[in-house]
Each structure stands twice: as structure tokens, then as C-alpha cells.
Amino acid sequence: MNIKIVLKRIVSLALVIFTIIISGSNTDDKTKNSPTDLFDGHENDAALIAEIYPVSKDNPFIIADFDELVFHLKYGTGIVIFAFPDCPRCKNVFPVLEKAFNDMDMGRHAGFRGKILYYDFYNDREENNERYQTLVDFTKEYLPLDENGNPRIYSPDVYFLAAGKIVGNHLDTVESLIDPHDLLNDEQKAELSEIYKELINNVEDCGC
């Protein structure tokens, strides 16, 4: 074989290998930091959520760990709820949010694989740890201030995301519910549901 042809092939092969190496080293941050498939390890989450909150057994909630949550706050499209089991208001919110999600057929979207991400932030807030401060940084524009003037995450707080951009949130339930331990009546449920549906429309209408 002609030596020039052999050299050309060697050079071409070297260029291909070099391109592959460079492409791998420049992998987009979104890909490098993406968690494993969102369903991995979460097959029983719906059942666990149904033991804590008054929702259906096939509810759309996933119990996100911190890394999964941060990834979706950066890049995701869908719904995130900050709550914890001992929060009385949260008991009211979960079934209404589930129904609004289903009524709006949010499961058809690729965002969050048709799920709602749930994160129990209570211990992070109590410890005021790095995870909590990271969550505050993500959401501080939407947070009320505590008695010291610092932004603070309260519950239940529901965030609506489009391509990593917060397009709306709703804290608490409805103003007419005075005692948080009381159950929402039908009128209050309808009011809260409409709030969620309007915010879901923000996700769907966003040009992000």
C-alpha cells in the first residue's frame, strides 16, 4: 500500500480519536451532573407518599434527594413541592395539587417524566446547613422574611418550573383557612385548585 495513503489514514484516525476525547471532556454541565433515570430507586415513592399524605396510591409524587432536586431546579420543567410530614397545611395541599395535576393532564409532559418532585426540607432548615442555603439561593425571590429579615422557606411551598426557570409559586393554602389543622371545604379546595391550574398554565405557556 502507498505509504502516503497509510499516513493519511493514520492521521485521520488520530483526528477522530482526538475529537472523541475533546467531546467527552467538554460534556455539557447539564449532562455531567444529571442524576440517574428519575425513576431509579423511586418505584415505591407513590406508596410511601400515600402513607403520609391523603393522596391516591398511584399519585404522581417522587421523593427527590438533594442532588435530584438541584438538577431539576437548574434545568427541569414541572412542579416541586417543599413540605414535611408534620406540617398540617401540607395535608390539605397534597390531594388538591394531585387533582390539579391530573385535571391539567400534566403527566403527558416529558418534564420530570410526568411527576411532581417532593422534598422534605425540614431537617435542612433546622440545621441551617449548606443544602438549605442552596435552596434559599434558588428561591429567595419568592420567600417571605423571618423575624431577622432573612429569606426563609416555609411549607407547603409549591414551585412551577420551565426549563430551569421558576415561573411561579404558591405558599400555604388559601387565606380563608384560619386554623391550619382544619380541612379545606369544597369551596376552598376549588379556590386552591384554580391557583395551581393557573400556575401550571404558566409552565405550559412559557417560551423558555
Q: Tell me, letter by letter, the H, E, C secondary structure of the chain.
A: CCHHHHHHHHHHHHHHHHHHHHHHHCCCHHHHCCCCCCCCCCCCHHHHHHHHCCCCCCCCEEECCHHHHHHHHHHCCEEEEEECCCCHHHHHHHHHHHHHHHHCCHHHCCHHHHCEEEEECHHHHHHCCHHHHHHHHHHHHHCCECCCCCECCCCCEEEEEECCEEEEEEECCCCCCCCCCCCCCHHHHHHHHHHHHHHHHHHHHCCC
Q: What ranges do the domains of the chain cover? A: 1-28, 33-205
List per-residue pLDDT tens for the chain, 208 residues long: 555 444 445 445 444 343 333 344 444 555 445 555 666 788 899 999 999 999 999 999 999 999 999 999 999 889 999 999 999 999 999 999 999 999 998 776 655 567 899 999 999 999 999 999 999 999 999 999 999 999 999 999 999 999 999 999 999 999 999 999 999 999 999 999 999 999 999 887 765 5
Q: Does domain 33-205 have CATH number 3.40.50.970?
A: no
The pTM score is 0.81
